[in-house]
A and B are shown apart, each in its own frame.
Chain A
Amino acid sequence: MKAVIVLEDGTFFEGRSFTGSGEAVGEIVFNTSMSGYQEILTDPSYTGQIVTMTYPLIGNYGVNKADMESASVHPMAFLVKEYNDYPSNYRSEGTLADFLRQYGVLGVEGFDTRALVRHIRTKGAMKGIVSTEDLDRDSLVARARQWSGLVGQDMVSRVTCREPYGWADNRPVPGTNFATAQSGLNNPHKIVAFDFGLKYNQARILTDKGCQVQVVPASTDAETVLAMNPDGIFLSNGPGDPEGVPGVVATIRSLLGKKPIFGICLGHQLLGLAYGGSTYKLKFGHRGGNQPVKDLTTGRVEITSQNHGFCVDMDSINPEEVELTHINLNDGSVEGMRHKKYQAFSVQYHPEHAPGPHDAMYLFDRFLKML
Chain B
Amino acid sequence: MPKRTDIKKILIIGSGPIIISQACEFDYSGAQAVKALKEEGYEVVLINSNPATIMTDPELADSTYIEPITPEMVIKVIEKERPDALLPTLGGQTALNTAIKVAEMGALEKYNVEMLAANIDVIRKAEGREEFKAAMESIGLNVPMSVIVHTLADAMAAAEEIGFPVIVRPSFTLGGTGGGVAYNRHELEELSSSGLDLSMTTEIMLERSLLGWKEYELEVMRDSKDNVVIICSIENVDAMGVHTGDSITVAPAQTLSDREYQNMRDAAIAIIREIGVETGGSNVQFAVNPVDGELMVIEMNPRVSRSSALASKATGFPIAKIAAKLAVGYTLDEIKNDITRETYASFEPTIDYCVVKIPRWTFEKFPEAEDLLSTAMKSVGETMAIGRTFKEAFQKGMRSLETGRFGFGADGKNDLGHLELEDLESGLRRPNSKRVSYIHEGLKRGFSIEKIFALTQIDPWFLRNFQQIVEMEGVIRERGFQGLDAAFLRRTKEYGFSDYQLAFLTGTSNKDVRGLRAKLGVTPVYKLVDTCAAEFESYTPYYYSTYEQENEAVASDKKKVIILGGGPNRIGQGIEFDYCCVHAAFALKEIGVESIMVNSNPETVSTDYDTSDKLYFEPLTLEDVLNIIEQEKPSGVIVQFGGQTPLNLAVALEEAGVPIIGTPPDSIDRAEDRKRFQQFLQKLGLRQPDNDTVYTLEEALVASEKIGYPVVVRPSYVLGGRDMRIAYNDKEIRNFMAIPGIAGGEHPVLVDKFLKDAIEVDVDAICDGTHTVIGGILEHIEEAGIHSGDSSCVLPPHTLSPELVEEIKRASRAMAEELGVIGLMNVQFAVKDQNLYILEVNPRASRTVPFVSKATGVPLAKLATKVMMGMSLEELGFTREVEISHWAVKEAVFPFDRFDNVDTLLGPEMKSTGEVMGIDDDLGLAIAKGQLATGSTLPASGSVFISVRDSDKQSILAPARTLVEMDFKIIATRGTAKFLESHNVPCERVNKISQGRPHILDKLQDNQVAWVVNTSLGRRTTEDSYSIRRAALELHVPYTTTATGAVAVVMAMKAMREKEIGVHPVQYFTREGTKR
- Listed in ascending order, the chain A residues whose CB lies under 8 Å from chain B are 13, 30, 32-36, 38-39, 54-57, 60-61, 64, 66-67, 81-82, 84-91, 110-115, 117-118, 121, 288-292, 294, 299-301, 303, 329-330, 353-358
> B902 at interface (Cβ–Cβ under 8 A)?
no
From A55, A66, A300, A358, B533 is in contact (CB under 8 Å) with: A55
> B151 at interface (Cβ–Cβ under 8 A)?
no
Q: How far is the CA of A85 from the CA of B346 in the complex (A)?
A: 35
Q: Please determine whether A56 and B255 come into contact, CB atoms closer than 8 angstroms.
A: no
Q: How far is the CA of A175 from the CA of B556 in the complex (A)?
A: 67
Closest to B331 in A: A301
Contacts of A288 in B (CB 8 A): 350, 533, 535
Min C-beta distance of A9 to chain B, whole Å: 15
Q: Please determine whether B255 and A61 come into contact, CB atoms closer than 8 angstroms.
A: yes
Q: Please determine whether B461 and A90 come into contact, CB atoms closer than 8 angstroms.
A: no
Q: Please determine whether A55 and B352 come into contact, CB atoms closer than 8 angstroms.
A: yes
Q: Please determine whether B349 and A290 come into contact, CB atoms closer than 8 angstroms.
A: yes
Contacts of A56 in B (CB 8 A): 352-354, 388-389
Beyond A115-B549, A117-B533, is A86–B449 a contact (Cβ under 8 Å)?
yes
Q: How far is the CA of A35 from the CA of B351 in the complex (A)?
A: 11
Min C-beta distance of B161 to chain A, whole Å: 29
Contacts of B352 in A (CB 8 A): 32, 54-56, 81, 113-114, 117
Among B259-267, B596-604, B872-880, B1051-1059, which stretch is in contact with chain A? B259-267
Beyond A117-B534, A288-B535, A358-B266, is A32–B350 a contact (Cβ under 8 Å)?
yes
Q: Please determine whether A55 and B351 come into contact, CB atoms closer than 8 angstroms.
A: yes
Q: How far is the CA of A81 from the CA of B266 in the complex (A)?
A: 29
Min C-beta distance of A336 to chain B, whole Å: 16
> B929 at interface (Cβ–Cβ under 8 A)?
no
Q: How far is the CA of A81 from the CA of B527 in the complex (A)?
A: 14
> B257 at interface (Cβ–Cβ under 8 A)?
yes
Beyond A81-B388, A91-B293, is A35–B261 a contact (Cβ under 8 Å)?
yes
> B702 at interface (Cβ–Cβ under 8 A)?
no
User: Among residues 211 to 233 in chain B, which have CB atoms less than 8 Å away from a CB atom of chain A?
Assistant: 225-227, 229-230, 233
Min C-beta distance of A272 to chain B, whole Å: 24
Closest to B227 in A: A301
Q: Please determine whether A118 and B350 come into contact, CB atoms closer than 8 angstroms.
A: no
Closest to B350 in A: A32
Contacts of A32 in B (CB 8 A): 350, 352, 532-533, 535
From A36, A82, A118, A330, B534 is in contact (CB under 8 Å) with: A118
Closest to B449 in A: A86
Q: How far is the CA of A84 from the CA of B259 in the complex (A)?
A: 19
Interface residue SS majority, chain B: loop
Q: How far is the CA of A89 from the CA of B461 in the complex (A)?
A: 9
Closest to B1 in A: A299
User: Among residues 261 to 295 in chain B, which have CB atoms less than 8 Å away from a CB atom of chain A?
Assistant: 261-262, 265-266, 290-293
Closest to A299 in B: B225
Q: How far is the CA of A54 from the CA of B390 in the complex (A)?
A: 15
Contacts of A57 in B (CB 8 A): 254, 354, 389-390
Q: Please determine whether B461 and A67 come into contact, CB atoms closer than 8 angstroms.
A: no
Q: Please determine whether B262 and A353 come into contact, CB atoms closer than 8 angstroms.
A: yes
Q: How far is the CA of A82 from the CA of B225 in the complex (A)?
A: 40
Q: How far is the CA of A334 from the CA of B154 in the complex (A)?
A: 61
User: Among residues 445 to 481 in chain B, which have CB atoms less than 8 Å away from a CB atom of chain A?
Assistant: 449, 459-461, 464-465
Closest to B353 in A: A56
Closest to B344 in A: A329
- Listed in ascending order, the chain B residues whose CB lies under 8 Å from chain A are 225-227, 229-230, 233, 252-262, 265-266, 290-293, 331-333, 342-344, 346-354, 388-390, 449, 459-461, 464-465, 494, 527, 532-537, 548-550, 552
Contacts of B549 in A (CB 8 A): 13, 111-112, 115
Min C-beta distance of B351 to chain A, whole Å: 7
Beyond A118-B550, A288-B350, is A60–B342 a contact (Cβ under 8 Å)?
no
Beyond A56-B388, A57-B389, A117-B534, is A292–B262 a contact (Cβ under 8 Å)?
no
Contacts of A66 in B (CB 8 A): 259
Beyond A82-B389, A301-B332, is A89–B534 a contact (Cβ under 8 Å)?
no
Q: Please determine whether A355 and B262 come into contact, CB atoms closer than 8 angstroms.
A: yes
Q: Please determine whether A54 and B534 come into contact, CB atoms closer than 8 angstroms.
A: yes
Closest to B464 in A: A86
Q: Please determine whether A60 and B255 come into contact, CB atoms closer than 8 angstroms.
A: yes
From A55, A90, A110, B350 is in contact (CB under 8 Å) with: A55
Q: How far is the CA of A61 from the CA of B256 in the complex (A)?
A: 6
From B349, B461, B550, A114 is in contact (CB under 8 Å) with: B550
Q: How far is the CA of A329 from the CA of B340 in the complex (A)?
A: 13
Q: How far is the CA of A99 from the CA of B588 in the complex (A)?
A: 55
Min C-beta distance of B883 to chain A, whole Å: 57
Beyond A90-B293, A291-B347, A292-B347, is A33–B449 a contact (Cβ under 8 Å)?
no
Contacts of B548 in A (CB 8 A): 111-112, 114-115
Q: How far is the CA of A33 from the CA of B342 in the complex (A)?
A: 20
Contacts of B350 in A (CB 8 A): 32-34, 54-55, 288-290
The 8 closest A-B pairs by CB, nearest first: A36-B258, A86-B464, A115-B550, A355-B258, A54-B533, A88-B461, A112-B549, A112-B548
Closest to B266 in A: A358
Q: How far is the CA of A289 from the CA of B351 in the complex (A)?
A: 12
Beyond A55-B352, A112-B550, is A303–B347 a contact (Cβ under 8 Å)?
yes
Q: Please determine whether A81 and B389 come into contact, CB atoms closer than 8 angstroms.
A: yes
Q: Please determine whether A86 and B460 come into contact, CB atoms closer than 8 angstroms.
A: yes
Q: How far is the CA of A189 from the CA of B862 in the complex (A)?
A: 71
Q: Please determine whether A121 and B227 come into contact, CB atoms closer than 8 angstroms.
A: no
Min C-beta distance of A294 to chain B, whole Å: 6
Contacts of A86 in B (CB 8 A): 449, 460-461, 464
Closest to B252 in A: A34
Q: Please determine whether B461 and A292 come into contact, CB atoms closer than 8 angstroms.
A: no
Q: Please determine whether A87 and B461 come into contact, CB atoms closer than 8 angstroms.
A: yes
Question: Could you list 19 A-B pairs, sorted by A, with CB under 8 Å?
Answer: A34-B233, A35-B257, A35-B261, A39-B258, A55-B351, A55-B352, A56-B354, A81-B388, A84-B465, A117-B534, A292-B343, A301-B225, A301-B227, A301-B333, A303-B230, A329-B346, A330-B347, A355-B258, A356-B258
Q: How far is the CA of A358 from the CA of B229 in the complex (A)?
A: 12
Min C-beta distance of A260 to chain B, whole Å: 28
Q: Please determine whether A35 and B354 come into contact, CB atoms closer than 8 angstroms.
A: no
Q: Please determine whether B252 and A84 come into contact, CB atoms closer than 8 angstroms.
A: no
Residue among B262, B265, B331 with most chain A CB within 10 A: B262
Closest to B487 in A: A14
Contacts of A113 in B (CB 8 A): 352
Min C-beta distance of A53 to chain B, whole Å: 9
Q: Please determine whether A91 and B257 come into contact, CB atoms closer than 8 angstroms.
A: yes
Contacts of A64 in B (CB 8 A): 257
Other than the known A56-B353, A354-B258, what 17 A-B pairs have Cβ atoms closer than 8 Å?
Answer: A33-B258, A35-B256, A56-B352, A56-B389, A57-B389, A64-B257, A67-B259, A81-B352, A81-B388, A90-B292, A90-B293, A91-B257, A117-B533, A288-B533, A291-B347, A303-B229, A358-B265
Beyond A89-B257, A115-B550, A300-B227, is A34–B262 a contact (Cβ under 8 Å)?
no
Closest to A39 in B: B258
Q: Please determine whether A357 and B293 come into contact, CB atoms closer than 8 angstroms.
A: no
Closest to B490 in A: A110
Contacts of B533 in A (CB 8 A): 32, 54-55, 114, 117, 288
Q: Please determine whether B265 and A357 come into contact, CB atoms closer than 8 angstroms.
A: yes
Min C-beta distance of A163 to chain B, whole Å: 29
Q: Please determine whether A84 and B346 come into contact, CB atoms closer than 8 angstroms.
A: no
Q: Please determine whether A330 and B536 come into contact, CB atoms closer than 8 angstroms.
A: yes
Q: How far is the CA of A181 from the CA of B349 in the complex (A)?
A: 40
Min C-beta distance of A239 to chain B, whole Å: 21
Contacts of B460 in A (CB 8 A): 86, 88
Closest to A56 in B: B388
Min C-beta distance of B452 to chain A, whole Å: 13
Contacts of B353 in A (CB 8 A): 56
Q: Please determine whether A114 and B225 come into contact, CB atoms closer than 8 angstroms.
A: no
Contacts of B342 in A (CB 8 A): 330
Q: How far is the CA of A257 from the CA of B1031 in the complex (A)?
A: 82
Residue among B253, B259, B460 with most chain A CB within 10 A: B259
Contacts of B226 in A (CB 8 A): 300
